[in-house]
Every structure is written in structure tokens, then in C-alpha cells.
Structure 1
């Protein structure tokens, strides 16, 4: 925005600046509403992440217990051989989704449930349980990664929105309001100058008229 000194003190500029203040205040209100909504979404996502992390920790404990049990019942060599035969998971696909203007990654894939189910039917129950447990761990890790990325992106957007709203509220709008005051001051000053000029002109015209009348009276007397 140009400095107050460079603003043209005209009524048209006054109207334009008033409109800009109205638009800026509406934008500020929308930014504050967006920030509140983002903060609410952030806290909801935080609760989800906390729950997922707790579940992941429990599933890891369950998985390691299942591996120790499988080693005791089926032997470490059998467990290692069967681990090498586990069907390959599908490739991960990351597609963005929009959450209040924030592009959040949605992780899909990383599964091969049908092939895994068929493979598990051929295994001893102890190895079966160990593979199932770590298959669940894999899915939960993806969920945690997705939600934590969402948290980071939401936090960045919250900070970005805060900076924008602060700039509008504390810098942009005050400058526009200062410009309005300057324009009003200059318009009042010009109006006073015009009034004084007209008053002076009127006085001089009156003096000239009186002088003209006196001149005519002198001519009549002569």
C-alpha cells in the first residue's frame, strides 16, 4: 500500500479506501473463522493420533510375544523361512485430499489381504498369529504416518493463517484508517481554504462595488 503522503486527497480516493477497509475486515473475519476451524481439526486429529499410537504400542507388544511363541513352538528356522514366503504387499498410493484448503495426503494400498489369507491357511497357528499381528502393525503404522502428516500440515496452515490475520489486523487496516484520516484532514483543509478564498473574493468585490458607487456619486455632484 502507498504511504499516506502519496495518497491523493480526493473524495473518490476516500470512497475507494473505505471500500478497501470493508473488504479487509470481511477477509479478516473469514481468516479468524478458518483458524478456529483448523485448530478444532488439529485437536481432533491429535486425539486420533494419540489413540493410534497407544494401539500401535499394544500391537507391537502382542506381535513380539507372538514371535517368541512361534520360535518356541515351530522353531526359529521355520519362522524365518515362512517370513520369506509372505506375499508381497501392494504398492502404496498417496492421493491428496482437501481439508479446509489444506492438502492432506491419503495413504492407500500396502495390502494384499486375499493372498495373505490363503498363505496363512498353510501355516502353523503360532506362525499364523505372529504374521497377523505384524500385518496389523503395518496398517497401523501407515495410519499413524498419515495422521501425523495431517497434524504437521494443519499446524503450518494455522501459523500461516495467524500471520495473515495479524498482518491485516495490525498493519493493513491501520494503514488504511490512517489514510482515511489524512484524506479527511486534507479535504477539510481544502474546504477551509476555498471558503476563505471565496470570502476574500466576495469582500473585494463588495469593496469594488462601493468604490464604483462613490465614484458615480462624485461624478453626479460635479
Structure 2
């Protein structure tokens, strides 16, 4: 935005600056609404993430307990052999969803596909261990998704706050100062023009009176 000294004090510039103030105030209102929505989404996601972390802690305890029981019931050698036969984790697909313009990753897949026929051949204790760690893997992905969303939302909240502060505390005050300057200069120009017109009118009146004085002797003759 140009400095005050570079602003042209015209009616057109006055109208244009007033419109910019209206647009800036509307934009500021939208930014504040966006920030409020982002903060609400941040707290909701934070609650979900906290619940997931708590659930993860519980499932980890169950998972390690299932491994211990499998070692006791099926033997550590059998458990190790069966773990080597498990297929690799499936491909993890990273998609994206938008929350108030913030792109949040959506994690899908990543589970190992264990065939039911194979599971039927395994002891129940090993089956339980596999199921338990599949649940843990899913929760870990969910936690990673929510933690990433929290970081992105927090970054966008801070960015929106900086933009709204700049508009509210810098941009709009400068525009308001520009309107005051233009108004002052227009009033000053109007006063100068009024004085000039009065001076011209007075001089014209004096000239007419002088011409009348010069013409009167001739008329009397």
C-alpha cells in the first residue's frame, strides 16, 4: 500500500479506498470465523487423538499379554515359526481430505491379509495374538492420522491469526488514515477554491464598478 504522501486526494480515490475498507472488514470477519472453526476442529480432533492414545495403551497391554499366553500355550518356537509365515503388511494408501481448506492425510490399508484357512490351522492363542496386533496396527495408523491433522490445523490456526492481525491492526488502519487524509485534502481544496472564487468575484465586481465610474462622465455629457 502506498504511503500517505503518495495518495492522490481525489473523489475517485476516496470512493476506491472506502470500498477497500469494506472488503477488508468482510475478509477479516471471514478469517475470524475460519479461525474459530479451525480451533473447534482442533479441540475435537485432540479429544479423538487422546482417546485413541488411551485405547492404544490398553491394546498394547492386551497384545503383549496375548504374545505371552501364546508362548506359554503354543511354545515360543511355534510362535516364531508361524510369525515368519505371516504375509507382509498391505500397501498403505495415503489420501487427503479438506477441513476448512486444510489438507489432512487419510490413511487407508496397511493391514496384513491373513487367510481364514490359515488361521483355522493355528492355535487359538496365536490367532488371538495376530488379531490383537492387527487392532494395534490400525490404532497406530489412526493416531498418526490424528497427530498429523493436529499439527496441520495448528499451523493453519497460527497462519490465519497472523493474517487477521495484519488486516485488523495494519491494513485497515492504513486505509482509514488514507480516507482521513483524502477527506482533509479535499476539504482544504474546497476551501481554497471557495476563497479563490470569492476573490475573483470581488475583483470582477471592483472592475465593473471602475468601468461604471469611467462611463458615467461620458453619459452626463
Same fold (TM over 0.5): yes
Partner of 2:78: 78
1:155: which partner in 2? 154
Give the superposition deviation at 1:116: 4.3
How far apart are residue 182 of structure 1 and its match? 0.4
Superposition pairs for residues 135-174 of structure 1, below 5 Å? 135-174=134-173
Q: CA deviation at 1:217?
A: 2.1
Q: Would you identify which runs of 4 or more consecutive aligned residues in structure 1 move more than 6 Å?
A: none
Could you tell me which residue of structure 2 aligns to residue 211 of structure 1?
210
Measured at CA, do residues 118 and 174 of structure 1 come closer, stay the same or move farther in structure 2, by a change above 3 Å? farther
Number of positions where the alignment pairs a residue of Structure 1 with one of Structure 2: 221
Cα offset for 1:72?
1.3
- Deviation digits for residues 27-48 of structure 1, max 9, x if unmatched? 1111110110010000000010
- TM-score, normalised via structure 2 length: 0.96
- In structure 2, how many angstroms separate the alpha carbons of the residues matched to 1:44 and 1:125? 38
Distance 1:116 1:205 in 2: 109
- Unmatched segments (≥5 aa) in structure 1: none
TM-aligned CA distance change 1:138 to 1:117, over 3 Å: farther
Partner of 1:176: 175
Secondary structure at the aligned position of 2:104 is classed as strand
Aligned residue number for residue 31 of structure 1: 31
- Alpha carbons 1:86, 1:119 under 8 Å: kept: no
In 1, the alpha carbon distance for the partners of 2:172 and 2:30 equals 15
Distance 2:158 2:203 in 1: 66
Q: 1:130 offset after TM fit, Å?
A: 1.2
